[in-house]
Structure 1
């Protein structure tokens, strides 16, 4: 194992062609780059000798106790806080089965509410402040600390 290096969310950890994303890391589908999803120590773990995939795993281990962190593909439970014409804002309460300790805000876009007749979606009829939704994280916009997610049944 290699010496640990301190990283913060959004830092590039490597390329998916050369490394596998482990805990605290995710692969951005648009550029196949691996990013840190939390602040902590970056470690490269060699693959098991009997593994078919011989790429090392990069992971980030939090330097302090922290709760789960949403990343693309995570299923979240969120409470709607504000509804606008084309978006709804929500506070994320749980990532998978675990409640979050930090504040994460998400945005549900009109075009992500359903697959067909997107232009007919009325956000004010679909959501109300206080509604609880189950959603999948689509992407993370680190510069504004917002998550985009799609509601799921």
Structure 2
């Protein structure tokens, strides 16, 4: 089970079932135990000879505040630069949570889509400013994460046309400007319907 991070004020349990340890406190008015810092909750079993048999819940601090991309996590990133064989992007969210530090992602040509990899044209897949949904493959070099959009639900989820409008996806590979009707090529993420 993946450990869920808690933030100050999140409920950890009720005082009749758990007692607060470090990083947690009990509110006197409603007998609820809350987290007092950002971190990961941990339940500590009571010692067998203890008169109080409630387990203790404590929160251990998390050094980097905010989520950190890990292999396998789905991220939302903004494309900053498109080169011949890769695109770079700033990771904005890991899962549903916004990041608080700067993480850079690289989408390599071979990781754009699952088919006809050798025919991928980066300029027809992404443009700077595009918002993409991608999955983290690994931590690459120079503190950049290798990202992949090679699944149907991954790819561009939001893009602006040259006219400045939010484009509408019309196929797997095309988005259309609602103002001018102009069609631009993208590696489009298929919405989960």
Q: Same fold (TM over 0.5)?
A: yes
Quote how far apart the aligned CAs of 1:21 are. 8.4
Change (3 A) 1:63 1:119: closer
Please tell me whether the aligned partners of residues 23 and 61 of structure 1 are also in contact (alpha carbons under 8 angstroms): no
- Counterpart for residue 96 of structure 1: 95
TM-score, normalised relative to structure 2: 0.47
CA distance in 1, matches of 2:113, 2:63: 39
Change (3 A) 1:87 1:63: closer
- Tell me whether 1:132 sits opposite 2:131 in the alignment: yes
Where does structure 2 lack aligned partners over 5 or more consecutive residues?
6-42, 45-59, 155-188
How many pairs align?
106
RMSD, aligned CA: 3.1
Where does structure 1 lack aligned partners over 5 or more consecutive residues?
1-19, 25-44, 47-59
CA deviations on 1:27-48 (whole Å, 9 max, x unpaired) are xxxxxxxxxxxxxxxxxx99xx
CA distance in 2, matches of 1:112, 1:70: 17
Change (3 A) 1:63 1:91: closer
CA distance in 2, matches of 1:21, 1:127: 32
CA distance in 2, matches of 1:86, 1:127: 12
CA distance in 1, matches of 2:92, 2:104: 9
- Counterpart for residue 145 of structure 1: 143
- Counterpart for residue 71 of structure 1: 70
- Tell me whether 1:62 sits opposite 2:62 in the alignment: yes
TM-score, normalised relative to structure 1: 0.59
CA distance in 2, matches of 1:67, 1:21: 16
Matches within 5 A, 1:2-151: 61-63=61-63, 66-141=65-140, 143-151=141-149
